[in-house]
Amino acid sequence: MSARQPLLSVEALQGWYGKSHILQGVNFDVCEGELVTLLGRNGAGKTTTLRAITGLLPRVEGAVRYGGKELIGLAPHVIARSGVALVPENRGIFAGLTVQENLSIAIRRHSIWTMARVREFFPELEHRLNTPAGKLSGGEQQMLTIARALLTGPRVLLLDEPTEGLAPVIVERLVSLFSHLKTEGLAVVLVEHNFEICLTVADRHFIIDGGEIVWTGDSDSLANAEDVISRHLSLENV
């Protein structure tokens, strides 16, 4: 458990889609070099929380503090430029552009993640630079999506179900990648249905149910919290 100052702090976050009041009080935080999970059954509000943080939800109340600065009310591109990157569930790559082109678009000056460094870090992409992104395997596409996010130079990385539908060997590779990103000082928020992955890689967990955080704890506490798991996480999570 960390006593450090959080880099990203979400307080009493509420969010709506039209008249639907989806987020009803989400509270969590993440520090530099820490990975936290956002767990919950389908429809609990995990993706909506990530969308609210990144300025993609039409109506939001509460506070999202990043390095002491309030993000609510800022445009998505301003939030992204300030150092909060979202790796969305649908990956959001440009299928008709090559891998190299997808990467080039994402590059930001001053990012410690240069093109050379990303290419070294993702040898899987090195051999596919001239391939249209739409022709990559699911695992390669996910690596491209994460590589693109890193090139923007984030301090906070929000990952929405990054391992979904991928082969076990790729999942293993991604998990070690997430661990490495912590050592680089990134603050990582992971939405993930694979319970084992969460216990392996995360420092703390936040369970969301009905649009609010209902439980917080570390991996040891979660592994032993059978009542919490059965009450707030559906069978597919266990």
Ligand X SMILES: Nc1ncnc2c1ncn2[C@@H]1O[C@H](COP(=O)(O)OP(=O)(O)OP(=O)(O)O)[C@@H](O)[C@H]1O
Determine which residue in the list 48, 54, 142, 163 makes contact with ligand X, applying CB under 6 A.
48
Q: Which stretch binds ligand X (CB under 6 A): 46-54, 145-153, 171-179, 228-236?
A: 46-54
154-213 positions binding ligand X, by CB under 6 A: none
- Among the listed residues 55, 60, 77, the one whose alpha carbon sits nearest the alpha carbon of residue 17: 60
Determine which residue in the list 37, 47, 54, 141 makes contact with ligand X, applying CB under 6 A.
47
Number of other residues whose CB lies within 10 A of the CB of residue 238: 10
Q: How far is the CB of 46 from ligand X (least distance, A)?
A: 4
Q: Which stretch binds ligand X (CB under 6 A): 42-50, 97-105, 139-147, 164-172?
A: 42-50
CA dihedral 42, 178, 187, 233 (to 10 degrees): 20
Q: How far is the CB of 52 from ligand X (least distance, A)?
A: 9
Number of other residues whose CB lies within 10 A of the CB of residue 76: 14
State residue 169 phi and psi, 5-degree precision.
-65, -35
Determine which residue in the list 46, 128, 205, 232 makes contact with ligand X, applying CB under 6 A.
46
- How would you list the strands of the sheet with 20-30, edge to edge? 69-70, 59-66, 8-17, 20-30, 212-218, 204-209, 35-39, 187-191, 156-160, 84-87
Give CA–CA dist 119/125, Å, rounded. Answer: 7
What would the two tokens of residue 103 be? 């990467």
Determine which residue in the list 4, 5, 11, 43 makes contact with ligand X, applying CB under 6 A.
43
Assess 44 for contact with ligand X (CB under 6 A). Answer: yes
Number of residues in contact with ligand X, rule: CB under 6 A?
11
Q: How far is the CB of 85 from ligand X (least distance, A)?
A: 18
Determine which residue in the list 6, 40, 55, 154 makes contact with ligand X, applying CB under 6 A.
40
- Return residues touching ligand X (CB under 6 A): 17, 20, 22, 40, 42-48
